[in-house]
Amino acid sequence: MASQEEDHPCIHDLPDNPWDWEEISLNLLLSSNVDQELGNEKSPWGRKKHRLRWLGKPRAIPQLILKLQDPKFRESALHLLSSFLFQKREEDPENYYRAGFLLFHSCGTMAILIQEVLLIYKMMADGSLNERACMRLINVIILFQCVAANRETRQKLMSLLFVSTLDVYDNVRAVALSVIGILCQARESNAVHWAIENEVLEVCLFSMDTGNELTKMIGLHIVESILRVDLGISYIFSPAADHLSNRLMRTCDNLVNQIAVAHDFSPQILFHTIRCYTVLCHDERGHNLVKQSLPESFINGTFHESLKEFPVIRRLLSQLLLIAGINDS
């Protein structure tokens, strides 16, 4: 019976509060001499090591990693793996690093761990985050720590989390926004009403501030489509949306300023930004706002030379300056 229990671990095998928070965060960083001296002092947490004898078996770690694939066993597997790795970090570095290699190269495991982190964001957004979910996130982070500690997987982890994921995320965001763009470009009132109710303008402005070139262009396209409908332009200049009109002007101004100093000139973003300014001028309030906030680089001829290659954009800019009552020098 005892052997069966060891072969089939459950989450209740672990203590209620197993972690020394400093040990699983700060103490994983390279220590200075002062830190080493302080580390010799007795821990105020008084945590007792929890031995999981069955994890000493050669195939135990691979079996637990496989358990991560099954949502029914995932929480227990995360808890047991993280507890074992926390113990082995100093006791048995060879197996600790081996576990990091297995975690990274086992099929789907890194995707599962990233999914676990994203679930926490969802719980934060809907207010359902609780202590149990936080503990589950800590267990996931300890597995990431193990992968980061292995020399063979460290660089791959950085590429996965901090380069490729961001690029792919921007492209996925652009594709997702394009669906909204298709909905809004028909300029139907019900589609614009839906976009306003679901704060699509806020999403587009955020994408225009932080996204790649493709995302910025699609965000501009959606904003322009919404503004071309009476309901949309009325909303953005309503008292309830003052923050949106001001933010739109700041975002467009930032885009123009970035283009003005960029070595790799982006005519598409400039084209769509000018069109947004022009559409805003169709409303009296928008006309006044544009006249007060038009980027200096539009007025002082910064784009005069560069737009010789783009006569359509040059004519559009001249038209905007004329509508705003500013001489095109």
Residue 300 scores a pLDDT above 70:
yes
The whole-number average pLDDT for the span 108-134 is 87
- pLDDT at position 3 is 42
The whole-number average pLDDT for the span 129-134 is 86
- pLDDT at position 57 is 56
Token output for 164: 């490729």
For 210-252, the pLDDT digits (tens) are: 888 888 988 999 999 999 999 999 999 898 888 898 899 999 9
Cα-flanking dihedrals φ and ψ of residue 228, to 5°?
A: -80, -5
Torsion from C-alpha of 50, 52, 56, 58, nearest 10 degrees:
-140
- pLDDT at position 1 is 41
Contacts of 309 (CB under 8 A, 6+ apart): none
- pLDDT at position 95 is 83
Q: Among 162, 151, 158, 139, which Cα is nearest to 68's?
A: 139
The whole-number average pLDDT for the span 31-50 is 40
Q: Is 229 left (phi over 0), alpha (psi -120 to 50) or beta?
A: beta
* Cα first-last separation, the chain: 90
DSSP symbol at 324: T
How many angstroms separate the CA atoms of 97 and 247, rounded? 48
- The residue that leads in pLDDT, 326 or 224, is 224
How many angstroms separate the CA atoms of 287 and 123, rounded? 42
Amino acid identity for residue 58 in this structure: P
Pick the CATH number of 161-323 from 3.30.2350.10, 3.30.70.260, 2.60.120.280, 1.25.10.10: 1.25.10.10
Residue 8 scores a pLDDT above 50:
no
Residue 88 scores a pLDDT above 60:
yes
Residue 280 scores a pLDDT above 90:
yes
Q: 3-class DSSP state for residue 55? A: helix
The count of other CB atoms within 10 Å of the CB of residue 244 is: 19
Q: Are 268 and 212 in contact (CB under 8 A)?
A: no
The count of other CB atoms within 10 Å of the CB of residue 39 is: 12
How many angstroms separate the CA atoms of 206 and 218, rounded? 12
- pLDDT at position 328 is 55
Domain map (residue ranges) of the chain: 2-29+38-149, 161-323
Residue 167 scores a pLDDT above 70:
no
Q: Are 129 and 123 in contact (CB under 8 A)?
A: yes
